Amino acid sequence: MNTALYNRYSNHLMKKYGEKVYKLPVNLPGTCPNRDGKVGEGGCVFCDEQGSGFDCLSNTFSVRRQLEENKAYFSKRFQAKKFIVYFQAFTNTYLPFKRFRDNVLEAITADDLVAISISTRPDCVNEHYLDFLQEVSIDKGIDVNIELGLQTVNYHTLALVNRGHTLAEFIDAVNRIKTRNFAVCAHLILNLPWDNHQDAVENAKVLSALRVEYAKLHSLYVVGGTPLGDMYQKGRLEIISMQDYIQRVACFLEHLDPEIVIQRLVGKGPKDNTLFCNWGVSWWLVKKKIEDYMEENNIYQGKKFDYLNGKALKGMF
Ligand code: SF4
């Protein structure tokens, strides 16, 4: 494994916390303003009703039970000793504030936590919630990471995906989060059907310019019963080939600030009702192919990261 190709999350955690760290997913019964009518209805075209909580324990379990069961699994299997609580599914900061606060307080009682990670939408980042998270961070001495679903910086595509927000909300959320010294993780899908290779490059440039700490990539998966699923079944959805996806990811990384840590190159889809996911092969094979392609073509993260701080003025001083 060539560790120099890109800035790997596992290496980053090891360096930051001195040992391996594992994420403990928490799945809360929630919704999303893009599903309940507040900003939209029906949700993003690719979203099934589980809101990305498909690989979590049941959301009917208490926070404490989910954490204990996941911790027991990781401790037994990997001898894990440090953890990040990860509020994964739906839009966690869209929960009423008291419920959000109680769930977070229930989650942070353990003394083997190094961070808390909260998944949300860019239009659900608000000073009230950030104030509370800052208190938690200081009192408990843990890091706070906010995971923002962006998917693409192309605001025309965001409209077609029915995201219910544009690029501006993402920029605003990142700026607000960064005043608290929390880390930002941006989620992207590099092969949305309305995006092209240039959008992948622009994704990298915008994340670099905003100095987010983490990026998480996902290839598009298609679930039955979603608007995207309907398009797929009617033959109206074109998904780029695996080779094109590999080239897009490589190109994205080539333009990305080498300091940004890559949490994931390829995601997994839900087990049930999936119509298309990772070109019918396992996620790790796609990941390996990306790494092989980068190695064979001498591509590495940050190779073309030369565009900030007045590129046109370079060499004039
Ligand atoms: S923002 Fe997330 S939970 Fe809400 S509709 Fe989109 S993918 Fe689903």
Q: Taking the CB of residue 110, how many other CB atoms lie within 10 A of it?
A: 14
Distance 218 CA to ligand 1 centre (A): 14
Test site for ligand 1: of 28, 32, 95, most ligand atoms within 8 A of the Cβ: 32
Span 35-93, pLDDT tens digits: 999 999 889 999 987 655 556 667 777 888 888 888 888 888 888 899 999 998 778 89
pLDDT given at position 72:
87
Amino acid letter for position 110: A
d(C-alpha 209, C-alpha 65), whole Å: 40
> Closest residue (by CA) to atom 7 of ligand 1?
47
The CB of 218 under 6 Å from ligand 1? The reply is no
Ordered by where they begin, the domains of the chain are 9-305 (3.20.20.70)
Shortest CA distance to 142 belongs to which of 189, 89, 96, 85? 85
Pocket flag, ligand 1, residue 53 (CB < 6 Å): no
Site to probe by mutation for ligand 1, drawn from 50, 93, 120, 121 as the one with most ligand atoms within 8 Å of Cβ, is 121
Q: What is the pLDDT of residue 236?
A: 95
Q: What pLDDT score was predicted for residue 55?
A: 62
51 lines ligand 1 (CB under 6 A): yes
Beta bridge partners of 147: 119, 185
Q: What is the pLDDT at residue 219?
A: 95
Angle subtended at Cα 91 by Cα 85 and Cα 94, rounded to the nearest 5 degrees: 110
Report the length, in residues, of the chain: 317
Residue whose Cα lies nearest atom 5 of ligand 1: it is: 43
Q: Say whether pTM exceeds 0.85.
A: yes
b/e burial code for range 205-239 (CB count within 10 A of at least 16 → b): bbbbebebbbbbbbbbbbbeebbbbeebeeeebeb
